[in-house]
Copies of this chain bind each other. A is one copy, B any other.
């Protein structure tokens, strides 16, 4: 367990490390609370701590990693409070953005979204739950891209990644097919260029998501004895 293979693809820059780590976090290969040692990451990617620190700094600005002074970097563990805030922000941004996207939707965009849903289904069938979760998030980011709002896209992208952490911590049900259903309904609205329908569907989709979480405040700060054994 102490060994960590080197990723010999070479050419790792700060940004690519960020993308790689973000994806690993998003796919739950790096669960909340995981320690991200600087030397360890440096060895893994074959780069010095300088680049690693820049990457960790970037991830901390996106609230995916928590930096504790003189203690190190850890995959973030969003609180119940933070979870509610993230979905509140999403509910302000995503419905209206879906509306805009529906009006700008091209056939190529529709094909892309369709492929996304197909891949997600395939991943689920193959038991690759992490990849499915990632693709599910990409669906939402893609909508912001189609809406042609890169600033909002940046925000949504961050919120999606944080949502993945929230799901890792607070997911209740195990039935995961509700996701693809909602996305399929959205796709129909997009195909019809029906902005109002898309907006409404996105709104209820987000409500369903929150409802599928267990956000009761019970045992909120249980992570008191130094993060409850780091996990």
Q: Once the chains bind, are B155 and A85 in contact (CB under 8 Å)? A: no
Alpha-carbon separation in the docked complex, A176 to B97 (Å): 32
**Per-residue contact bits, chain A 71-93, to B (CB 8 Å; 1 contact, 0 not):** 00000000000100110110011
Q: Once the chains bind, are B89 and A149 in contact (CB under 8 Å)? A: yes
Report the nearest B residue to A147, measured CB to CB.
Answer: B88
CB distance from A101 to the nearest CB of B (A): 13
Which residues of A in the span 184-223 have a Cβ within 8 Å of any Cβ on B? none
Alpha-carbon separation in the docked complex, A58 to B57 (Å): 8
CB distance from A48 to the nearest CB of B (A): 13
Whether, in the assembled complex, A103 has its beta carbon less than 8 Å from a beta carbon of chain B, the answer is no
Interface size class of A (residues with CB under 8 A): 20 to 34
> A82 to chain B: which residues have CB within 8 Å?
151
> A54 to chain B: which residues have CB within 8 Å?
53, 57
**Per-residue contact bits, chain A 149-187, to B (CB 8 Å; 1 contact, 0 not):** 111100100000000000000000000000000000000
Alpha-carbon separation in the docked complex, A65 to B134 (Å): 30
Report the nearest B residue to A154, measured CB to CB.
Answer: B63
> A93 to chain B: which residues have CB within 8 Å?
89, 92-93
Q: Looking at A54, A58, A88, A93, which has the most chain B CB atoms within 10 Å of its CB?
A: A88
Alpha-carbon separation in the docked complex, A150 to B61 (Å): 14
A61: which of B61, B85, B89, B92 is its contact (CB, 8 Å)? B61
> A88 to chain B: which residues have CB within 8 Å?
149, 151-152
> A86 to chain B: which residues have CB within 8 Å?
151
Whether, in the assembled complex, A140 has its beta carbon less than 8 Å from a beta carbon of chain B, the answer is no
Whether, in the assembled complex, A121 has its beta carbon less than 8 Å from a beta carbon of chain B, the answer is no
> A149 to chain B: which residues have CB within 8 Å?
85, 88-89
Whether, in the assembled complex, A131 has its beta carbon less than 8 Å from a beta carbon of chain B, the answer is no
Binding site for B on A (CB under 8 A): 53-54, 57-58, 61-62, 82, 85-86, 88-89, 92-93, 96-97, 149-152, 155
Can you spell out 12 A-B residue pairs with CB atoms less than 8 angstroms apart?
Answer: A53-B54, A57-B57, A61-B61, A85-B149, A85-B150, A88-B151, A88-B152, A89-B93, A89-B149, A92-B92, A93-B93, A155-B155
